[in-house]
Amino acid sequence: PPALAPVDGYAALRARMAEAGERRVFVKPAHGSSASGVVALETAPGRVRAVTSAAWTRGGLRNSLRVRTYRTEVEAAALIDALAPDGLHVERWLPKAAIGGRAFDLRVVVIGGEPTHAVVRTSRHPMTNLHLGGARGDLGAVQRALGGDGWDRALDVCARAAACFPGSVMVGVDLLVGTGLRRFEVGEVNAFGDLLPGLTGLPGGSAEGVDTYTAQVRTVLAGSGACTT
Residue-level pLDDT at 31: 87
Mean pLDDT confidence for 62-66: 91
**For 128-154, how does the pLDDT look when each residue is reduced to its tens digit (9 = 90+)?**
998 888 999 999 999 999 999 999 999
Dihedral sign for Cα atoms in the order 6, 11, 17, 23: positive
Residue-level pLDDT at 226: 52
Distance, CA of 180 to CA of 142 (rounded, Å): 12
**For 174-207, how does the pLDDT look when each residue is reduced to its tens digit (9 = 90+)?**
999 999 999 999 999 999 899 999 999 999 999 9
**At 158, is the pLDDT very low, low, confident or very high (cuts 50, 70, 90)?**
very high
- 28 and 104 Cβ atoms separated by less than 8 Å: no
DSSP the chain: -PBPPP-SSHHHHHHHHHHHT-SEEEEEESS--TTTT-EEEEEETTEEEEEEEEEEETTEEEEEEEEEEE-SHHHHHHHHHHHGGG-EEEEE-PPBPEETTEEEEEEEEEETTEEEEEEEEEESSS---GGGT-EE--HHHHHHHHHHHHHHHHHHHHHHHHTT-TT-SEEEEEEEEBTTS--EEEEEEESS----TT--BPTTSTTBTS-HHHHHHHHHHTT-S----
**At 11, is the pLDDT very low, low, confident or very high (cuts 50, 70, 90)?**
very high
CATH of 98-221, one of 3.20.20.450, 3.90.1150.10, 3.30.470.20, 3.40.190.10: 3.30.470.20
Distance, CA of 144 to CA of 94 (rounded, Å): 22
pLDDT cut 70: percent of the chain above it: 97
Residues of the chain with CATH 3.30.470.20: 98-221
